[in-house]
Structure 1
Amino acid sequence: MAQRRMTFRHIEAFRAVMAAGSMTEAARQLHTSQPQVSRLIAQLEAMTGLPLFDRSGSRLSPSLDGMRFHTEVDRAFVGLTSLEAAATRIRAFGAERLRVAAMPRLAGGLLSRAVARFKTAHPDVIVAIHSGDDETVNRWVSSGFCDAALTMIYGDAPDSRLEHVLTMDCVAVLPPDHPLGARASLRPEDFRGFPFVASPLASALRARIDAVFHTAGVEMTITAEAGLGSAICTLVSAGLGVSLMNPLAAYEEAKVSPILIRPFAPALPVRFALLFPPDHTRGRLMRAFGACARAMMLEELARLPGAAAQAVPEAIGNGSQALV
């Protein structure tokens, strides 16, 4: 008997269950029955030889193998979605479309406002906004799935064409009424003994912060880790610790979370930039979007408290694009 082969339906069912958290909800979203989804998942587990889900009665949760497999599935779907998007553009007789991306903080704020401004000048262009973590955004751009991205860079430049906009320094964020709030600026030595909410170990920002504290001979007392600026500020405002983060996220979150913000030295620079696919020739439309997004970034970042004192615009000369 021929061995059963993995099909799109198996992967579609797996992604739906991962997103919905239950077979029943996944079946509703796929407009099929719960037994059919359960059968597809069982077949997929048999074909892969992996226990993709842990089952406890009626409860269902992804296994470690399932989460790892889901990561690989998402990577494969980037290419598949690119083909679907290409087919859509062909069916629309070449209607112009842009796919832009950013990390959640930028995607929901600055990028969305840049797209809104861009659409006033180009109302017929369809613009799709995608959001993900920095690694995912870089993968989308470097693979050509997205045409451009707004990003913040703490370490080495990603494998894409990078257009710097300006550089600012990270700031310290503190709970309200924190003892360090009485100081005008802070250094690593000031954090000694205080609980610290850190960025994830694998992140470029965490590596830079660890290096600064190591050089100063200060051991951080890490009590929590979070990848999103909003999550860090929520933990800080709840009194779980102090932290360091990019100024855009800090001042945006200060509007909704009770936190204190102070300058920090030595400088931890963050570069705000535009990303484009490598070896990609930008047409008139992408040049127009890039100019619009750059202008929006400069305007909004200039409004941050203390921005004039710390922002370092990148030299671009004559309005040309500084690419590295």
Structure 2
Amino acid sequence: MGLNIREIEIFRAVMDAGSISRAAVALNVAQPAVSKYVAQLERRLALKLFERYGNRIAPTAEARALFTQIQRVFSGLGQLERFMQDMAQLRRGHVTVASLPLLSLTVMPQVVAAFTQDRPDVSIALQTRSSTRIAEWVSARQIDFGVGIYASTHSGVSFEPLVDLELFCALPPGHELESKEEIGVHDLAGQDVIALSNHDQSQIALDVLLDQHQVMPRRRIEVFWTSVALELAMRGAGLAFVDRLTAGRVPGGVERLRRFRPRLSLQIGLFWPDHWEPRPIAIALAEAIRIELGTQLDTR
């Protein structure tokens, strides 16, 4: 049984209009043509779709069931059309993305600059927040997507992993632990440690580790940005826990890093709103972030 799209369109119009004559007006065709296509569809299906009462018609149960399925198909076609329009607009539009601080200072500037340079009609709003706030914004669909650190407490978002980013211990110049290639958790006892106040998982993971081993460092300074923590460490203010991306931005920063054991890391990824199809322009920007993040990690 071949599908005749014109028959489907006319049947749908009749169901919407409630009569043959009104469907003919809506379609701007002659009334006999509408009747012909309806009768043709009935013969094709070997079903009676309408009861006829003089000039009036009433849909049968079979017609209502068929109409329900057709509406679903047309709804899907509408979504497909919108998706194709979005694809055609990959070079224009606006994207709002939020990033945790360490990526806003390292990966995101390169991504945003290159992305907008290649797409003159695209605008981007880049927000910098903690991962907890980013997850809240994504869940509320206040932004297209976010880049942050995974936490099981985040609800209303889907997490797409990008990288497991190792944290290193940054030592001040001339520090007593400078000769060690690796810093152990017990080495932190009594040391000045610069804490992070942005409520991300890096500080939480360190706190859990210190509690497990009953190690008590001194916490005299608290900052929001890992880059600020590194700058303070390099000025002798204490030990800091930073990643290689952050250290690579500061002259001499990588040389101050020591591996820390047990290993601490951040699972960084993309936050997408649950049950919400992302726009193609947002997907394209997310892919650019993935590529740039991998490139920067490979070169550090």
Report TM bin, short chain: 0.5 to 0.7
Aligned residue number for residue 218 of structure 1: 215
RMSD: 2.3
How far does residue 299 in structure 1 lie from its aligned partner after superposition?
0.8
Structure 1, 294-303 or 105-114: larger mean CA deviation:
105-114
Distance 1:164 1:157 in 2: 16
Matching of residue 255 in structure 1 with residue 251 in structure 2: yes
Distance 2:261 2:105 in 1: 29
- Secondary structure of the residue aligned to 1:265 is strand
Aligned residue number for residue 36 of structure 1: none
Aligned residue number for residue 294 of structure 1: 290
How far does residue 249 in structure 1 lie from its aligned partner after superposition?
2.1
Aligned residue number for residue 7 of structure 1: none
Aligned residue number for residue 265 of structure 2: 269
- Secondary structure of the residue aligned to 1:262 is strand
TM-score, structure 1 as length reference? 0.58
Matching of residue 188 in structure 1 with residue 161 in structure 2: no
Q: 4+ residue runs of structure 1 moved beyond 3 angstroms?
A: 256-259
Distance 1:201 1:124 in 2: 34
Deviation per CA, 1:271-320, whole angstroms, max 9, x where unpaired?
A: 1212222222023222222221111111112222xxxxxxxxxxxxxxxx
Matching of residue 209 in structure 1 with residue 171 in structure 2: no
* Distance verdict in 2 for CA 1:219–1:111, change over 3 Å: same
TM-score, structure 2 as length reference? 0.63
Distance 2:288 2:251 in 1: 26
* Structure 1: stretches of 5+ with no match in the other structure: 1-94, 305-324
* Structure 2: stretches of 5+ with no match in the other structure: 1-91
Aligned residue number for residue 71 of structure 2: none
Aligned runs of 1:111-126 on 2, under 5 Å? 111-126=108-123
Distance 1:192 1:104 in 2: 28
Of 235, 239, 249, the residue aligned with 1:238 is 235
> Does the Cα contact within 8 Å between 1:229 and 1:245 map onto a contact in 2?
yes
How far does residue 211 in structure 1 lie from its aligned partner after superposition?
1.6
Letter in 2 for 1:261: L
Aligned residue number for residue 194 of structure 2: 197
Matching of residue 281 in structure 1 with residue 277 in structure 2: yes
> Does the Cα contact within 8 Å between 2:197 and 2:223 map onto a contact in 1?
yes
Identity across matched positions, percent? 20
Distance 2:261 2:158 in 1: 30
Letter in 2 for 1:266: P
